[in-house]
């Protein structure tokens, strides 16, 4: 948006502003009775309320004047919108329509903002580079949650807004073009989408002689069951093994024979001589994508594929920490991603959980 100085000065003298070729005329609130509001008006009372006090299109009445003064309004805008410009509400809505993809719904503009929400429980699919490209254009704001986050039905994924009250239509058309290009280059996938999670049945092998012998009660089973169930999957069978490599290999092969969608082996993932699990997973024939992840907690996690079946070695932290490398990789596997080394390597940035 350009704002020619001379035009601006002249406009200011007459109490008007020129934005592109639209005209914003300022009216004193006392003189505004009977006029229609040009945008939503926000009230903020810290700790109590933040939201829309008046909606765009509201006709000002005599009683509104003191409420308007309470939120600091001495003047209101009357807009004469040029055909080449867009009001903030329409701009935000058009951006949302352009960006929203599979399983994403958008609502009405609210204080110039449109929210994009998930229609399902699933995994957010949001391209960070696309978000940066849109925001580099200036005057538009696209704010999103992080890619690959688990979302519940109704969770907000993104919100769109333009910064000025009025923007050139061309600005929004640029965002629409970027979104269309993105869809073309990504097999029709939109820049903001949600992927459903498949329902998988897992075999869980719990290792540890202290658990196998009954010295201590198993805590892994309930924790892993809860994590899978919260994502719509299940532990179909849990078995137990002592810290003996031969037995662990045999039980892993048993799970493979049962046709489970995923194999989980808990415990024995660290540096003690009794930690047999990584060696046993390799000896069972798995292709190891990574033993170790640059995430804390969850650094001792192993991920691989055994004849195409995802297999995890789960370190002790999965039992008691709510957010570990398992909680990052599990939803991705459920969304159908094939995990490669690059996925593991990039988990370190942001992978320190401060909970
Ligand atoms: N010197 C080092 N110490 C540790 C390292 C390391 O690299 N160097 N890594 C740490 C990390 S990270 C983890 S995670 C933990 C332990 O990982 P493990 O998978 O080897 O866990 P275990 O040794 O099998 O058991 C640890 C602890 O948890 C109890 N446990 C195990 N399974 C169960 C179960 N099913 N139910 C209840 N309790 C269970 C076990 O009895 C031990 O007390 O190592 C860090 N240390
Ligand atoms: O695998 Mo450990 O934290 O990183 O529990």
CA nearest neighbour of 275 among 220, 207, 214 = 207
Res 355: pLDDT: 66
Residues 341 and 214 in one domain: yes
Res 18: pLDDT: 54
Verify whether ligand 2 is closer than 6 Å to residue 317 (CB atom).
yes
CATH classification at residue 44: 3.90.105.10
Rg (CA), the chain: 28
Res 111: pLDDT: 86
Residues 96 and 173 in one domain: yes
Verify whether ligand 1 is closer than 6 Å to residue 278 (CB atom).
no
Res 10: pLDDT: 40
CATH classification at residue 139: 3.90.1170.30
- List 142's β-bridge partners, or say none: 160
Res 146: pLDDT: 96
Question: What is the number of other CB atoms lying within 10 angstroms of the CB of residue 256?
Answer: 19
Pairing of strands 309-314, 262-266: parallel
Q: Over range 94-98, report the average pLDDT.
A: 98
CA nearest neighbour of 244 among 268, 220, 271 = 268
355 domain residue, yes or no: no
Residue nearest ligand 1's atom 28 by CA: 316
C-alpha dihedral sign at 13, 15, 17, 23:
negative
Verify whether ligand 1 is closer than 6 Å to residue 325 (CB atom).
no
Calpha distance 140→137 (Å, rounded)? 7
74 domain residue, yes or no: yes
The band of 6, judged by pLDDT with boundaries at 50, 70 and 90, is: very low
Pairing of strands 234-241, 201-207: parallel
Domain boundary among 47, 80, 113: 80
Task: Calculate the alpha carbon distances from 297 to 124, 154, 312, 355 in Å.
Answer: 22, 29, 15, 10
Q: Which domain holds residue 211?
A: 201-345
pLDDT tens digits, residue range 320-335?
999 999 999 999 999 9
Verify whether ligand 1 is closer than 6 Å to residue 211 (CB atom).
yes
The band of 13, judged by pLDDT with boundaries at 50, 70 and 90, is: very low
Burial (Cβ within 10 Å: 0-12, 13-18, ≥19) of residue 67: middle
Residues 102 and 234 in one domain: no
User: What is the helix (H) or strand (E) element at residue 60, kind and residue range?
Assistant: none
**What value of ipTM does the predicted structure carry?**
0.95
Res 194: pLDDT: 98
Residue 21 has pLDDT above 90, yes or no: no
Q: Over range 183-211, report the average pLDDT.
A: 97
> How many domains does the chain contain in total?
3
Contact 19, 79 (CB under 8 A): no
Residue 282 has pLDDT above 60, yes or no: yes
110 domain residue, yes or no: yes
Residues 264 and 307 in one domain: yes
Res 107: pLDDT: 93
Q: Over range 237-257, report the average pLDDT.
A: 97
206 domain residue, yes or no: yes
Q: Report the largest interatomic distance among the alpha carbons of the chain, rounded to a whole angstrom.
A: 88
Calpha distance 100→191 (Å, rounded)? 7
Residues 34 and 135 in one domain: no
pLDDT tens digits, residue range 44-89?
888 888 888 888 877 888 999 998 999 999 998 877 788 899 989 9
> 114 — phi, psi (to 5°)?
-120, 130
Verify whether ligand 2 is closer than 6 Å to residue 315 (CB atom).
yes
Calpha distance 292→303 (Å, rounded)? 8
Q: Which of 213, 316, 327 to mutate to test the pocket of ligand 1 (most atoms within 8 A of CB)?
A: 316
Residue 2 has pLDDT above 60, yes or no: no
Residue nearest ligand 2's atom 5 by CA: 317
Residues 97 and 184 in one domain: yes
Res 1: pLDDT: 34
Which atom of ligand 2 is the closest one to the Cα of 297? 3
Q: Over range 186-198, report the average pLDDT.
A: 97
Calpha distance 146→32 (Å, rounded)? 44
Residue 313 has pLDDT above 90, yes or no: yes
Residues 176 and 215 in one domain: no
Res 231: pLDDT: 97
Q: Over range 17-24, report the average pLDDT.
A: 68
Q: Over range 342-350, report the average pLDDT.
A: 95
pLDDT tens digits, residue range 141-169?
999 999 999 999 999 999 999 999 889 99
Calpha distance 199→210 (Å, rounded)? 32
Tell me the average pLDDT of the chain. Answer: 91
Which atom of ligand 1 is the closest one to the Cα of 317? 14
Residue 98 has pLDDT above 90, yes or no: yes
Res 214: pLDDT: 97
Residues 113 and 184 in one domain: yes
Burial (Cβ within 10 Å: 0-12, 13-18, ≥19) of residue 217: exposed
Res 238: pLDDT: 98
Sequence length of the chain is: 355
Centroid of ligand 1 to alpha carbon of 326 (angstroms): 15
Q: Is the peptide bond before 74 cis (omega within 30 degrees of 0)?
A: no
Q: How many CA atoms within 13 Å lie on the side-chain side of 195?
A: 19
Res 58: pLDDT: 75
Domain boundary among 21, 49, 80: 80
């Amino acid at each position: 948006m350009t704002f020619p100085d001379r035009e601006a000065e002249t406009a200011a003298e007459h109490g008007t502003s020129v934005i592109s070729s639209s005209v914003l005329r300022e009216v004193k609130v006392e003189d505004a009775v009977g006029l229609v509001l040009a945008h939503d008006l926000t009230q903020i009372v810290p700790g109590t309320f933040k939201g829309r006090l008046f909606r765009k299109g509201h006709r000002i009445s005599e009683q509104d004047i003191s409420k308007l003064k309470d939120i600091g309004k001495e003047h209101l805008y009357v807009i004469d919108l040029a055909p080449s410009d867009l009001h903030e509400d329409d701009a935000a809505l058009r951006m949302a329509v352009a960006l929203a993809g599979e399983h994403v719904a958008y609502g009405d503009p609210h204080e110039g903002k449109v929210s994009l929400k998930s229609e399902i429980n699933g995994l957010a699919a949001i391209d960070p580079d696309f978000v940066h490209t849109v925001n580099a254009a200036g005057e538009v704001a696209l704010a999103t949650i992080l890619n690959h986050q688990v979302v519940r039905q109704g969770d907000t994924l993104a919100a769109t807004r333009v910064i000025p009250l009025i923007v050139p239509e061309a600005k929004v058309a640029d965002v629409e073009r970027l979104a269309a290009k993105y869809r073309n280059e990504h097999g029709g996938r939109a820049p903001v989408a949600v992927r459903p999670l498949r329902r998988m049945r897992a075999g869980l092998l719990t290792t540890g002689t202290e658990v196998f012998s009954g010295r201590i009660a198993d805590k892994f089973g309930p924790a892993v069951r809860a994590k899978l169930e919260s994502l719509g999957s299940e532990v179909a069978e849990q078995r137990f093994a002592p810290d003996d490599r031969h037995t662990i290999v045999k039980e892993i092969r048993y799970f493979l024979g049962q046709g489970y969608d995923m194999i989980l082996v808990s415990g024995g993932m660290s540096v003690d001589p009794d930690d047999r699990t990584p060696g046993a997973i390799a000896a069972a024939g798995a292709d190891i994508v990574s033993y170790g992840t640059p995430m804390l907690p969850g650094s001792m996690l192993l991920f691989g594929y055994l004849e195409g079946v995802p297999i995890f070695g789960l370190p002790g932290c999965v039992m008691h920490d709510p957010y570990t490398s398992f909680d990052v990789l599990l939803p991705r596997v459920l969304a159908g991603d094939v995990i490669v080394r690059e996925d593991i390597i990039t988990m370190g940035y942001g992978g320190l959980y401060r909970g």
